[in-house]
Structure 1
Amino acid sequence: MGSVNPIELGIFIAYLAVLVFIGLKFYNASSDSSEGFLLGGRGLGSWVTAFSAQASDMSGWLLMGLPGAIYLGGVPQLWIGIGLFIGTCVNWKMVSERLRVYTEEVDAITLPTFFEKRYKDPTGALKTISALIILFFFTIYCASGMVSSGKLFSTMFGINYNAAVLIGAVVIISYTFLGGFLAVCWTDLIQGILMVIAIAVVPTLAIIEMHGLGTTRVAMASQHISMSLFGKGVTAATIISAVVWGLGYFGQPHILVRFMGIDSVKDIPKARKIAIVWCLISLAGALLVGLLSIPLFKGLSGGKEETVFILMIHRFFPVWIAGVFLAAIMAAIMSTIDSQLLVCSSVLSEDLSRIIFKKELTDQQAVKVGRWSVIGVSIIALLIAFNGNSTVMGLVSYSWGGFGAAFGPLVLFGLYSRKTSWQSALSGMVVGTLVLIVWKATGLSATLFGTGIYEILPGFVANVVTILIVNRFKTPEAEVVDEFDEMIARYEKARA
């Protein structure tokens, strides 16, 4: 890709200009209050909520990370997709409605604030530590998106990787800085539509051009790549490690905030159906892209396998269509980074503001801090992304596991348990996070058990077990129990 095609470049510039325009459009609406900037006034409709939640969920991982993993490992890598699909369905069913009601009940617009108010932590430790966990893992997560954008631009236009990372970051920062939550969600709607069209159309037309999957099966057999979910080398540990990705959904702040921002609980069933259909189509398309690339692009490794979708688009489509589909990859990348930057912004302007500034901020001050926080976090993520050896899959898996292990049990216990105290929640979160970090850093699973179990599972289980143990010694105040009962009553009324 040594020369820049002017048509592709023009389509890209036009697409990026639209995103910045959306940021400008919502500038005033997001400037009045921190709730407006960070949660859009809780006024999202079903379609925007569904597409925004799924687009911010899947990111460049869907169009680059997963096809690359399937290219290298074959069909067994789809177990990750199966786990994510199950997690999507369960999260929308178990968490979305109750979280929408409960966060409004306690007047919380961020996850750390929800934890503090839900469990009535008098020390502030639950809010502070959860906010720091978000900053740590989301900075790494944002870096994964910037790696994706760098690979996209450098593959398309043959420009320097670091320059490519910087170009993508500038655009994302611009519209997130300007328009806040509403800009992020409406751009996610556009980007979600582009993503699902691209991931459905590209492999379909590739199959037609290749006259079926015959060459793929031959190539997989010759390279000893498994064509079965239960093929050679697939163990129980392999399947478990892949499927438990679904546990991560219960703790992802950038997805959960969409549930908090929807206009009404009654809009959620429709949004849930839209989201599940989107997810099913997208995961099936990613599988096909990875499989079809095996006979087409041989010998890719070292992170270059994550460009197979880009290479397939260039191979089978005329330049003006290719430009649109390549913009869809950028859409996937942006739809997650913008959400993560906004959550980091909310943490610094809402959850840590008293510690940092030694006072409560006014709404206008909180919005300013939120906007500048977007830039600060982006700079750190850029420094991580400038390491050209980083892979999208590696960065995403660590961050995804971190949130699932730290926050997933707290969300579930918070929405379904009357008897969980703030001491239990705090202990569980700390233990779950530490177990995940140690498990990952030391390779404990492979060293002791020879299994390579994904670190989210031991972290999540350690969190749950800790909560259950501490619950036997520490019971919540009567106020906590009464408020939980009020939430359930409001939830039942809202659904009626």
Structure 2
Amino acid sequence: MTDLPLAPLQEGGIPVAEDPVIIAFGAAYLFVVVLIGAWGYMRTHSTSDFLITGKSVGTWVLAMTAFSVIQSGFGFVGGPELVYAFGTTPLWIFFTAPLGFLITWIVLAKRMRLLADIRNVLTLADAMYVRYESDWVRGLTGLAVVVGVIAYLATNLAALQFVMRAIFGIPVIWGLLGGALILLLYSMLGGMIAGVWTDFLQALTMIVGAAFVFAYAMSFGGGMETISRNLVTADPSLIGPFGAMGGASAAVLVAIAWWILFSVGAAGQPHLITKFYMSRNMTILKWGAPIAAISYAISSMIAFSAGLSMRAMVEAGEISETFDASEVGPVFVLEYTPSVVAGLILAALLAAIMSTSDSFLNIGAAAVSRDIPRAMGRPIEDDRTELRVTQAALAGLTVLATGVVYFSDALVGILGTIGWGFFAAAFVPIVVFGMNWKGATKEGAILAVLGGLFVNIVFSALPMALDVAGGDDWAEWIMGWYPYPEVFPVGTVALLVAIVLFVGGSLLTQEGAELPADLHTLMER
């Protein structure tokens, strides 16, 4: 067995911002985030306030929050990283995700918001218990949330360590640990009230910053024609319709798989769909989808432009590759944009990571303190006690996610797709189908969640854990059973397996199954 690393494996050549403008932007944003957290703490008096802001959010705030929790560190660090490494393959994520917002709004927005009115639901597991009237479904939903939260939170912490290094010049390890501590304090203070308003602030900043980065990146690379010519000379597949991930044939499969995962899979992301509980009323849902979709598309220009232009300049010999793929975004912003733009982008990224991670921590902690105990018949009856236990659970999840980053050498973008895949497989069948199909049954839901978790854990989480522990041979043996190229996203396979299990299981067990009476009207709207 190999020795475990004594420092994070994500190390490399991130330049340090010694510009006082950039440092001032970063410090000011952290200060604002702390103030918002303290303000949220003063307005948080119940578990409902902590988890869903007491249903007080309007159209623009809801749309911007929905967009920003999906983008976050994955889009700003993982996006340029994947584009730099594999060319146009990851663009199938960024050009597909806006469609995911539209699908999610159409199939779930009204139903989830109405459900929050007719029943006392605060979490996704609450909603699934109402729909299926099964403690097994509630408990498995809570378990799946916890597993997915750890993977997705790790994505944001992996991005956070690079941003803290870039702005403040601290070692990567202290960027990870210090950033995780700030995140934990912020989340324990403000809950979702603080997270929503930080989301709104950083969403506006990301949109403005993305436009500037796109312009500077295109100029830096000599325009799209020059970028394309340099990439074609090095490897034509880098600029082809499907990119270079895994070779020509594999890249086609990966692109299609990501198209499925990030369009349909968006409706299975609990940090997105539980946002519908927060809306002030039904009418404000109308324009949320196009606002969120357009905002995401604009912000994705950072991944597209920075990743391709940096790779083109390296291939042309204009710059030296002194950085890892994970560092492409921060390196470009620090070295090739003006101080004000760099400070704006990096500060917005700090806020994005903080607010998105806050959303993950809140839904994960609620699963630990509310969903799983209720599924086991041991609910916490006192609301204030439940709130405090929820806050305490934040610490455990933060430590676990920090450990994943510390010991894993996976790319930020890959960690992001793994977390997305966990959620999509577990929740698209039971939520999307379940809230739109009266024939869905609890047996089908149980099969779907178990099947989705099984595929993701066996072919994603377990091989990564074995690699870290020195069990390379075991990891290779497990992946030998995977029927697709290794680069083919496991999350897509798990999603399709879960859908088949859900539909098949429901069809076989429909006899005697009854939909709760008050849900008939909801599902007919």
* C-alpha contact 1:154 1:160 (8 A) present in aligned 2: yes
Kindly indicate whether residue 398 of structure 2 is the aligned counterpart of residue 378 of structure 1.
yes
1:206 equivalent among 200, 217, 223: 217
- 1:28 aligned partner: 42
Going from structure 1 to structure 2, the CA distance change for 1:318 and 1:173 (only over 3 Å counts) comes to same
What residue is the counterpart of 1:342 in the other structure? 362
Following TM superposition, by how much is the alpha carbon of 1:477 offset from its aligned partner in structure 2, in angstroms?
5.7
Of the structure 1 ranges 318-327 and 420-429, higher mean CA displacement relative to structure 2 is found in: 318-327
- Helix, strand or coil at the partner of 1:27: helix
- The corresponding residue for 2:25 is 11
- Which stretch of the first structure deviates more once superposed, 48-57 or 480-489? 480-489
Matched, 1:482 2:521: no
User: Equivalent residue for 1:309?
Assistant: 329
Segment of structure 1 superposing worse, 396-405 or 285-294 = 285-294
- 1:476 is displaced (CA, Å) by 7.0
Equivalent of residue 259 in structure 2, options 243, 250, 265: 243
- 1:332 paired with 2:349, answer no
Deviations 1:333-360 (A, max 9, x none): 2232111011112112321345789453
CA displacement at 1:401 relative to structure 2: 0.5
Quote the Cα distance in structure 2 between the aligned partners of 1:200 and 1:315. 17
1:38 positional shift: 0.6
Contact 2:46 2:384 in 1 (8 A): yes
Partner secondary structure for residue 518 of structure 2: helix
Runs of at least 5 residues in structure 1 that lack an aligned partner in the other structure: none
- Structure 2 counterpart SS, 1:398: helix
Between the aligned residues of both structures, percent identity stands at 24
Deviations for 1:356-394, whole angstroms, at most 9, x for unmatched residues? 894533111111112122222112212222236242112
State the AA in 2 paired with 1:248.
G
Code of the residue aligned with 2:231 in structure 1: it is M
SS of 1:146's partner is helix
Determine the C-alpha separation between the residues in 2 that align with 1:456 and 1:109.
26
Please say if residues 131 and 516 of structure 2, whose CA atoms lie closer than 8 Å, have aligned partners that are also in contact. no
> Is the CA contact 2:99–2:293 (under 8 Å) kept in the aligned structure 1?
no
Deviates more, 1:376-385 or 1:476-485: 476-485
Aligned partner of 1:283 in structure 2 is 300
Residues 295-327 of structure 1: CA deviation (Å, up to 9, x unaligned): 3455649x8212222222222333343222211
Aligned position for 1:140: 151
3-state SS of the aligned residue for 2:287?
helix
Is 1:70 the equivalent of 2:90?
no
Q: How many residues align?
A: 486
1:473: how far off?
3.1
Identify the match of residue 179 of structure 2 among 146, 150, 168: 168
Aligned ranges 1:9-408 → 2 under 5 Å: 9-30=23-44, 32-121=45-134, 124-208=135-219, 211-225=222-236, 226-230=238-242, 233-235=247-249, 236-246=252-262, 247-297=264-314, 300=321, 304-354=324-374, 358-387=378-407, 389-408=409-428
Q: What amino acid sits opposite 2:364 in the alignment?
A: C
TM-score (norm 2): 0.86
CA contact (8 A) 1:63 1:199 kept: no
Measured in 1, the distance between the counterparts of 2:159 and 2:182 equals 14
CA, structure 1 residues 416+387, in 2 after alignment: closer, same or farther (shift >3 Å)?
same
Paired with 2:484 and 2:337, the residues of 1 have a C-alpha distance of: 47
Match of 2:469 in 1: none
Distance 1:230 1:478 in 2: 45
Mapped to 2, the partners of 1:383 and 1:449 lie a distance apart of: 29
Amino acid corresponding to residue 74 of structure 2 in structure 1 = W
For residue 270 of structure 1, what is the amino acid of its counterpart? W
Cα distance change of structure 1 residues 231 and 436 upon mapping to structure 2, 3 Å threshold: closer
- 1:467 maps to which of 492, 502, 505: 502
- Range that drifts further, 313-322 or 110-119: 313-322
RMSD between aligned alpha carbons? 2.5
The whole-number CA distance in structure 2 between the counterparts of 1:460 and 1:428 is 9
CA distance in 2 between counterparts of 1:57 and 1:369 reads 27
Looking at structure 1, the residues matched to 189 and 149 of structure 2 have their Cα atoms a distance apart, in angstroms, of 20
Q: TM-score, normalised by structure 1?
A: 0.91
Counterpart contact for 1:251–1:411, Cα < 8 Å: yes
Query: Distance between the aligned counterparts of 1:238 and 1:360, measured in 2?
Result: 44
Query: SS of the counterpart of 2:283?
Result: helix
**SS, match of residue 482 in structure 1:** coil
Counterpart code for 2:29: Y
Give SS of 2:137's match.
helix
